[in-house]
Structure 1
Amino acid sequence: MSERMTGGEALVRSVLAHGVDTVFGLPGGQTYGLFDALAQYERPVQVINSRHEQGAAYMALGYAASTGRPGVFSVVPGPGVLNAGSALVTAYATNSRVLCLAGQVPSQHIDRGWGMLHEIHDQLGILQRLTKWAERIASGADAPARVAEAFRQLHTGRALPVALEMAPDVMEGDCDVTLLEPASSYETSTPDPDAVKKAARILGSARNPIIIAGPGALDAGAELKRVAEMLEAPAAANFNAKGVIDERHYLGINLPAAHALWGDADAVLAVGTRFTEPELEWGLDDRLPVVRLEADDSAFDRGRAPTVALCADAGAGLSHLADALESVNRKRESRKKELLGLKRRFGKEFARNNAPQVAVLEVVREELPEDGFLVDEVTQMAYTSWFAFPSYRARHYISSNFQGNLGYGYPTALGVQAAHRDRKVVAFAGDGGFLYAGAEMATAKRHGLNVVVIVFSNDAYGNVRRDQAQRYSGRVFASGLTNPDFKAMAESFGLEAWRARTPEELRKALREALEADAPGLIEMPVSEMPSPWPYILLPRVR
């Protein structure tokens, strides 16, 4: 049965019917109709208005990355969409289900070049290149079907961002709309049975198999653990999938440990990963068969063709593989003693070679509850955390993966907190990156987003400065910074703030900040740190 409503109402009611409980954004002239529909919606919706479109989009990213559910944000067209672009490409890099609801110029003027407010040419084409799928909703009557397809795209195949755009005349105009019931489930792709049997024979006969997992495996931790235990295979997650296997489990290892084992591996299972480091840096040879499990087969077109390609959802593919292994898996001795020894050795090495960072990371790990979240940043402390901060649960360590975009961390952490009001969230930031989005402290205060951000300040883009000094005979240029008093700045926004100069001072400040149950900032002045890159850019071993 159809109902009379505005296009904005049709869009909002269709989106929220899919279980969405939070929308991030800030209203502007071309999205008034959407925000008015949110204001009139029959049940309360958490609407978090940010101070910048980039912040809103990163908050949606944090919501999605920490839950696996769609994170939704709305921005005005043109500059609003472009401001959100860095978050969309980060959602693409991290396999995050983010939905962008973008405004447009009036329908009759789209792509006509009249210079309408916020007009850019081919905005839809731009969105289509930044996302998995994007469409225009040309009339309110089309909204339910377009929204249903957006959510189908979000929940099938590779998890990636999508976008919808709607013009303001459509948002505010009345029409007859037939709302649709949301899908109760989505199709799950399963692997080819013959390919599964071949993969099982390869992995089942291997003496030293190894597993490499990426963000495509984040929601398949139980299935991954089952296969790893059957094979006695150490499983290394890249930094965007940390915790997919609890790193306290003897089979849950970091990438430096996997690299140490790479030369002796005789079979590889790669799940939901671009497989960049092993293939491009560590090396492959004809003696190393590779089984790859990916949600879409385009991943198999990069680099060397896998020995066996399994195209399926990670959970379904791993379950089928485990079942097939039952009849062909060889007996192996437990590798527990060996792998725990390897992990201890690397732990001691990290503490020796990256002592300042490790001392801080140990404090954060000890003070952050097991169910708490850590959001990294483009900063020396975060780089070290990729390999030296143990993660216990999937989706509890959030990273920007290969995008590495400065300033993403704090607003992303606010999105994590919005999704988990009852959990503790800590964000890392450098002094360079924090000021990209420092104004979002106002958002944290207004909406009670109780993130504790630790700002490591050294008056420089530290990584840039080190690179310049090492590559250009000691010359450094344009990498120094003039900073505010971050503690005073946070207090001016109404946040509680501390300054800590040592790990023990940090422990006291962090404990107080987490107990305060309020937005907080800890400034930690630091000097130049030992480089973490020897444990990230690892050499070829085969």
Structure 2
Amino acid sequence: MTRMSGAMAILQSLMGHGVDTIFGLPGGQLDHFFDAMYKEGDKVRFIGTRHEQGAAYMAFGYARSTGRPSVYTVVPGPGLLNTTAAICTAYACNSPVMCLTGQIPSTSIGKGIGELHELPDQLATMKTLTKWAARIDHPAQAPALVAEAFAQMTNGRQRPVELEMAMDIMGMDSDVTAFAPYAPAPLLPDPDAILEAVKLIGKAKYPMIYVGGGALDASPQVQLLAEMLGAPVVSFRSGRGVVSDDHPLGFTLPAGHRIWPKVDLVIGIGSRMVEPLLHWGTDSNLKVLRIDTDPVEITRFHRPDVAILSDATLALAALLPVLDRTLGKPADRADEFAAVKASVLADIQKVQPQMSYLNVLREELPRDGIFCDEITQCGFTSWYGFPVYEPRQHINCSYQGTLGYGFATALGVKVAHPDKPVISIAGDGGFMFTMQELATAVQYNIGLKTIIFNSNSFTNVQRQQREWFGNRIIGSDLHNPDFVKMAESFGAAGYRAETPEELRAVIRRALAEPGPAIIEVPVPNTMATPWEFIMMPQNRGVTA
């Protein structure tokens, strides 16, 4: 038992769970917590941002690219609300992000007297946006509640949480007993479900594996399963890189769509499986096996023939030895699959100029580099047009579609991976959401390289206005600064590239330099639609 403040009790508990980096902004209700961080400055690194949303996105990028819990801290009320888009994004991406926020004085909570930064019911608000939220009402409670927060973030389906403490409780000294760090409990598969899965797999003639974010940590096991079955592994956004795109069985979404009518068993691993089961169609010839940690997700819109409620790694560890003993040699479809992949690769080249730029980026980004997308034309195209070789090398915002998330998120990725090259792409519209974080990048020497594809428009919106609304353009034309001069004014490197080959030369130069860089690439606002290879039509049976 040690005497310490509420703020120090929180910080010591966070460090006990392995936290060494915290993103955020200071403010009155957090003064004691920031003083605690100052005192422990040799053990925890603080990255101060220029806007609360930047702090939350950076924490999201840190968690998304590592799979480890991350923490950001902001003042309550408006500061907290400024981070909610990032929280929603972390929720969609199953990312373990902790929002640590202050509160008004404990004696005023719930009274509506108009304290600085007061919300009607902050805790209730956050419970609607996170997996779990709680208030620490006494310093002695901090170790247990921090441990519970980590349990909620990391057990089962990983998602964001919120912890708050009133400003006076943060400053209160009390005897505090340390609490053992939470260790995730393994979710072991039901042996009967494993046996049922073996039977189902044994009957399949044309299996396919469909992976999502829940398979990221099971990459070797998924590849072994794929090779054992001769089954292609299809990924969309969150599952990119579980099996490398240059592996013969690594399939992008459009490649998976082309073989879907032939598939008689789909094995979903850590995926919502929206595209095949909701959009491509199912019929009586299709069997479904799902592996997931979330019992609700497994049966949300389609009841599988066999469900294994388990962590993907543990489920496959149980499944693979049995299959190895019982399965024969799989059908040889190497030529067929190579032809499908080649056909898709040829077809998507018409998505221009996006593919020309993405081809250059893939060629110049080292194999261990990380690519961060944005809600922009090149970002959409990258979901199938940018080869990914390892898990967590393609950072995206999943179904949330959070315009403007990309730049600040990529800064968090680079903070987590200082020794790896990280490239962020953005449109001119999305970049402006968090452009002020370029100051953060310069201040902390975060060596992110960001490419802004500048069309002076919200291009996707403008395309829809042209095609769906008789060319009635409203709100989608944009006025922008000179991004090169803007970068230089912040103290970052600024470049402009007019063609893919010019971009190649600039990327090489930027990657060779240590600091942050902005590269502006002018593009037309009439780029080819990327959606033909994403929103693909039903091609069998019925849709849910």
For normalisation by structure 2, the TM-score amounts to: 0.98
> Which residue type is aligned with residue 188 of structure 1?
P
Distance in structure 1 (CA, Å) of the matches to 2:516 and 2:190: 50
> Which residue type is aligned with residue 372 of structure 1?
G
- 2:486 corresponds to 1:489: yes
Q: Which residue of 2 aligns with 1:246?
A: 244
Q: RMSD over aligned Cα, in angstroms? A: 1.1
Q: Which residue of 1 aligns with 2:3?
A: 4
In structure 2, which of residues 500, 503, 511 is the aligned counterpart of residue 503 of structure 1?
A: 500
Aligned ranges for residues 401-412 of structure 1 at < 5 Å? 401-412=398-409
Q: Is the 8 A contact 1:268 1:288 kept in 2?
A: yes
Q: Which residue of 1 aligns with 2:428?
A: 431
Tell me the CA shift for residue 226 of structure 1: 1.2
Q: Is the 8 A contact 1:452 1:519 kept in 2?
A: yes
Tell me the CA shift for residue 300 of structure 1: 2.6
Q: Is the 8 A contact 2:236 2:384 kept in 1?
A: no
- 2:468 corresponds to 1:440: no
> Which residue type is aligned with residue 65 of structure 2?
S
Superposed CA offset, 1:75-132 (max 9, x none): 1111111111111111111111111101111111112111111111221112111111
Tell me the CA shift for residue 133 of structure 1: 1.1
Q: Which residue of 1 aligns with 2:471?
A: 474
Q: Could you list the runs of 5+ residues in structure 1 that have no partner in the other structure? A: none
- 2:277 corresponds to 1:292: no
> Which residue type is aligned with residue 521 of structure 2?
M
Q: Which residue of 1 aligns with 2:381?
A: 384
Q: Is the 8 A contact 2:228 2:330 kept in 1?
A: no
Q: Is the 8 A contact 1:201 1:328 kept in 2?
A: no
Q: Secondary structure at the match of 2:520?
A: strand
Q: Secondary structure at the match of 1:355?
A: coil
Q: Is the 8 A contact 2:104 2:115 kept in 1?
A: yes
Q: Which residue of 2 aligns with 1:171?
A: 170
Q: Secondary structure at the match of 1:436?
A: coil
Q: Is the 8 A contact 1:205 1:330 kept in 2?
A: no
Q: Which residue of 2 aligns with 1:416?
A: 413
Distance in structure 1 (CA, Å) of the matches to 2:243 and 2:110: 49
Tell me the CA shift for residue 320 of structure 1: 1.4
Tell me the CA shift for residue 315 of structure 1: 0.6
Tell me the CA shift for residue 417 of structure 1: 0.6
- 2:364 corresponds to 1:367: yes
Q: Is the 8 A contact 1:204 1:231 kept in 2?
A: no
Tell me the CA shift for residue 325 of structure 1: 1.6
Tell me the CA shift for residue 43 of structure 1: 3.1
Identify which range, 399-408 or 198-207, moves more after superposition: 198-207
Q: Which residue of 2 aligns with 1:43?
A: 42
Distance in structure 2 (CA, Å) of the matches to 1:283 and 1:32: 55
Q: Which residue of 2 aligns with 1:339?
A: 337
Q: Is the 8 A contact 2:21 2:71 kept in 1?
A: yes
> Which residue type is aligned with residue 172 of structure 1?
G
> Which residue type is aligned with residue 307 of structure 2?
A
Tell me the CA shift for residue 42 of structure 1: 6.5
Tell me the CA shift for residue 329 of structure 1: 2.2
Distance in structure 2 (CA, Å) of the matches to 1:156 and 1:137: 21
Q: Which residue of 2 aligns with 1:86?
A: 85
Q: Which residue of 1 aligns with 2:208?
A: 210
Aligned ranges for residues 52-201 of structure 1 at < 5 Å? 52-183=51-182, 185-201=183-199
Q: Which residue of 2 aligns with 1:456?
A: 453
Aligned ranges for residues 262-301 of structure 1 at < 5 Å? 262-301=260-299
Q: Secondary structure at the match of 2:473?
A: coil
Q: Is the 8 A contact 1:25 1:56 kept in 2?
A: yes
Tell me the CA shift for residue 364 of structure 1: 0.5
Identify which range, 437-446 or 281-290, moves more after superposition: 281-290
Identify which range, 193-202 or 386-395, moves more after superposition: 193-202
Superposed CA offset, 1:222-281 (max 9, x none): 111111111111001121221111111111110100010110000010011111111111
Aligned ranges for residues 21-40 of structure 1 at < 5 Å? 21-40=20-39
- 2:303 corresponds to 1:305: yes
- 2:224 corresponds to 1:223: no
Tell me the CA shift for residue 323 of structure 1: 2.2
> Which residue type is aligned with residue 484 of structure 1?
P
> Which residue type is aligned with residue 455 of structure 2?
N
> Which residue type is aligned with residue 51 of structure 2?
H
Distance in structure 1 (CA, Å) of the matches to 2:41 and 2:102: 23
For normalisation by structure 1, the TM-score amounts to: 0.98
Q: Is the 8 A contact 1:203 1:268 kept in 2?
A: no
In structure 2, which of residues 378, 382, 392 is the aligned counterpart of residue 395 of structure 1?
A: 392
Distance in structure 2 (CA, Å) of the matches to 1:116 and 1:499: 48
Identify which range, 479-488 or 325-334, moves more after superposition: 325-334
Percent identity (aligned): 47
Q: Could you list the runs of 5+ residues in structure 2 that have no partner in the other structure? A: none
Q: Secondary structure at the match of 2:217?
A: coil
Distance in structure 2 (CA, Å) of the matches to 1:194 and 1:225: 24
Distance in structure 2 (CA, Å) of the matches to 1:70 and 1:121: 29
**Structure 1 stretches of 4+ moved >3 Å:** none
